[in-house]
Amino acid sequence: MTVHVTGSGQTAFGELWHESAESLARQAGQEAMEEAQVKPQQIEAVFVGNMLLPMLEQRAHVGRIVADALDLDCPAFRSEAACASGGMAVHLAILSLLAGHFTTVLVVGVEKMSDVGADIIGRGLMGAGSEQEQLQGATFPALYGLMTRLYQQTYEVSDEMMAAQAVLTHDHAYLNPLAQFHQKITITDVLKSSMVADPIRLLNASPVSDGAAALVLSTRAQSKKDRVVVAGMGEGGDCLDYAKRKAFTSFSATKVATAHALRQAHTMIQEIQAIEVHDCFSVAQVVALEDLGVCSPGTGADWIATGHGRVGGNGLVVNSSGGLKGCGHPVGATGVKQIVELYRQLKGVCGKRQVDSISQGLAHNIGGIGATAAVTILRRQS
């Protein structure tokens, strides 16, 4: 059984004061159904990725909220896995198709974060960590700050080298009309931006965002040529507590998920032309490159700083969408958006940020500080 991506939808990402979770989900979902040329009655189930709606708005049954917004009376499943909610929702949808239980399903990732104050959103996001970390007030910037410091010390990596990641993602976001940020930045801009959690500065961190992304997945192909299929996928898990890990400058969940996905797809990371990685902070992207096998440990920052990963370059393109940093990070939408981006790259419709000669793409979505990882590989079948 083969799972095809047959449609995609994505709202602009940003601080969208005039939108609600429902209106965002509706726009992305309708766009995906129109692109897939399926009517609402043909959607047999909805899979929703969302983290924060219950905590921020005291509303649950989130799968049905999204299904209702789209006037769908089919069953609705909701996946929550912190910032990996979207990627895990896509995987659950794929599993339901591979099981033969459904033929055509809709996946919607959605988050509406900008309606509450920083204290509330901060507390909500801390909910993704361990209870111990929460009680100690260790926010995600704080935890990733510790990780950044350790990484830089261990591998003798400068702040300048870490900053290259932010510059790269803003350059790509500049080319993406749906991205939250459309201004290019320099290394100096990053180094001069305000300190968030030493050594993480504002421009090393992804923003608070609103947005939705959607996919139609089906075991029935839409067309006979240029099909985009799910070639492989894997998930990994690790304890919530960063302090209890065996390794502090890599995520074993990413490694496990990647190995599974590559094996299932019968491919190697070297045979992939575009990756969307979970760059919630600069260090997360650097470590992801290493955990995915693009670079050896300690060389990820240098790899980016020396010009790799760019659209228009000769090699692998990293975060053509602008990533979490440049495109925005509406938590539950992110994992779905990554796969929307790869699908559109494989369809060749990405305009100025189009990756040349692409046949395979990989999405990497994590939750917590690497406690959940979902890795998905898409492939074009000509």
Binding site for a copy of itself (CB under 8 A): 45-46, 51-52, 54-55, 58-65, 67-68, 72-82, 88, 92, 94-101, 123-124, 126-131, 134, 235-241, 252-253, 257, 367-368, 371-373
To which residue do tokens 């940093």 refer? 325
End-to-end, the C-alpha distance of the chain in Å comes to 18
Clarify whether 329 is annotated catalytic: yes
Contact of 290 with 171, CB cutoff 8 Å: no
* Shortest Cβ 53–a copy of itself spacing (Å): 9
Residue among 4, 91, 308, 329 flagged as catalytic: 329
Q: Quote the least distance from Cβ 254 to a copy of itself, whole Å.
A: 12
Q: How many CA atoms lie within 13 A of 362 on its CB side?
A: 35
CA 136 – CA 319 distance, rounded (Å) = 33
3-state SS assignment for residue 195: strand
Burial class (CB within 10 angstroms; exposed 0-12, middle 13-18, buried 19+) of 293: middle
Residue with smaller CB distance to a copy of itself, 25 or 304: 25
> Is 350 one of the annotated active-site residues of the chain?
no
Query: In the chain, at which residue ranges do the beta strands (DSSP E only) sit?
Result: 4-10, 45-49, 76-79, 104-112, 195-197, 200-201, 210-218, 227-237, 274-276, 317-318, 360-367, 372-381
Q: 45 vs 272, which CB is nearer to a copy of itself?
A: 45
Active-site residue, from 83, 295, 327, 350: 83
Supply the minimum distance, in Å, between the C-beta of residue 379 and a copy of itself: 18
> Which residue's CB is nearer to a copy of itself, number 284 or number 371?
371
To a copy of itself, the closest distance from the beta carbon of 174 in angstroms equals 32
CA distances from 339 to 13, 92, 114, 233, 329 (A): 15, 14, 24, 12, 14
Q: How far is the CB of 107 from a copy of itself (least distance, A)?
A: 14
In the complex with a copy of itself, the residue whose CB is nearer, 21 or 355, is 21
User: How far is 204 from 323, CA to CA, in rounded Å?
Assistant: 12
Q: Given the complex with a copy of itself, which of 120 and 191 has the nearer CB atom?
A: 120
Indicate the residue among 300 and 370 with the shorter CB distance to a copy of itself: 370
CB of 57 to a copy of itself, least distance (A): 8
* Active site amino acids: 83, 329
